[in-house]
Amino acid sequence: MHHNLQSITLRDQLKRDYPWTTAPLIVGAPMRVMSGPEMALAISGAGGIGFIGPGLKPESTAEDLETARSIIFSSSSSSSSSSGIRTLERDVLPIGIGFQLWNGSLETSAAAVGKYRPAAAWLFAPRDGLQAEVNTWTVRLREVSPETKIWLQVGTLQEALDAVQSSREGGKPDVLVVQGAEAGGHGRATDGVGVITLIPEIADALFGNEKGKNGMIPLFAAGGIMDGRGAAAALGLGAAGAVMGTRFLAATEARISKGYQDEVLRASDGGKNTLRTQLYNHLRGTLGWPEQWSPRTVVNQSWVEQQAGVGFEELKKRHDRAVSEDGGSKAWGPEGRTATYAGAGVGLVKSVEDAGAIVEGVRGEAVGIIQGLQELAKL
Ligand SMILES: Cc1cc2nc3c(=O)[nH]c(=O)nc-3n(C[C@H](O)[C@H](O)[C@H](O)COP(=O)(O)O)c2cc1C
């Protein structure tokens, strides 16, 4: 009985929607600034779906999409086209783009999506956590680019129900990314749980008894997936594919400082050494995140000293000094002071590899595990 395994049920649909991909689907998350066009294209080029993250300013999105397009054009004229590049025939870029709604600009984003037509737009974190804002973005982006699939990242059953059942006409997402508590970067501040329960509960609530009532929306698992074991587990839970963020921080193409990347390789024991706090947003001057979300980061001196009672003003001074001195080489690491957003699975990330090799390695390992488990079922 495979009826609850989306990776099998939706295989043909996903192949139609993302024709350059290979099952099982591995997705690179849109990490703010760190997931740039080079990484997104490398992930898609290996048969996954690479997302560009939100940039420092709303205008950065169009610049990144322009870069992606020119890389595709230059490689398709100089070498025989890879499968990803062939989708240009439909004028759709074989990558996705991520948006954070609460501080994003819908009109700037819509202009970029309309011009470049990425295959997918990933929405996250509406103002005040409200589905109404998600609806507005979804409807507008579909107006400017009907081919662009709308992905929405949620972290609770309620958010999933709101997205599917309370979305206004034309506002239902094409994909729900179900983000578990282990996830790096921003996620549910206080009411997150792991994907091992969240995916099946959302699947049952949406598609359970009354099959077809909500159609079958692909669920993609995010949070804590670092290798083929996690990806195979996600598929076993019923997800259509697996999303990784933290693992791609250790890709050669990631737009990340060396000190940050070194810390991702070094850190382990994520339950003990990562946590969710707004402290690092505030130290970096990012204010205004809706209270529903806070970022998971690797612990360093700023947190340790805050716990010991050092006041924010002093922490900020020490933070700014660490970031500006010695080219920022002291910003990260256990003695460092700045944000090191990464997931609870950070201890499983051991080396820097090309993003394409990561996709192929994780996919191959997942397939091997699934084949291996078939032996168990024969007994
Ligand atoms: C450094 C970092 C930055 C992130 N930035 C964003 C973002 O801008 N928008 C978004 O929707 N998700 C963002 N995420 C969350 C990812 O979309 C995804 O849910 C998460 O990385 C999955 O968990 P993992 O890190 O354990 O793989 C970020 C994650 C990390 C680690």
- Each residue of 232-279: pLDDT tens digit? 999 999 999 999 999 999 999 999 999 999 999 999 999 999 999 999
pLDDT for 214 equals 59
Which domains are present in the chain? 6-257+349-378 (3.20.20.70), 268-341 (no CATH)
Residue 83: pLDDT band (50, 70, 90) is: very low
Is ligand 1 within 6 A of the CB of residue 270? no
Q: Using CA of residue 127, residue 41, residue 237, residue 341, what is the dihedral sign?
A: negative
CA distances from 72 to 40, 80, 82, 143, 291 (A): 12, 12, 10, 25, 39
C-alpha–C-alpha distance, residues 138 and 74, integer Å? 32
Q: Which atom of ligand 1 is nearest to the CA of 125?
A: 11
> Once rounded to an integer, what is the mean pLDDT over residues 12-36?
97
Residue 76: pLDDT band (50, 70, 90) is: low
Strands ordered across the beta sheet of 274-276: 185-188, 293-298, 274-276
- Each residue of 111-169: pLDDT tens digit? 999 999 999 999 999 998 899 999 999 999 999 999 999 999 999 999 999 999 876 77
HEC profile of 191-229: CCCCHHHHHHHHHHHHHCCCCCCCCCCCEEEECCCCCHH
Angle between helix 228-237 and helix 355-378 axes, rounded to 10 deg: 60
Q: Which atom of ligand 1 is nearest to the CA of 248?
A: 27
If one residue of 27, 31, 150 were mutated to test the ligand 1 pocket, choosing by the most ligand atoms within 8 A of its CB, it would be 31
Q: How far is the CA of 51 from the centre of ligand 1 (A)?
A: 11
Beta strand 175-179 with 149-154 is parallel
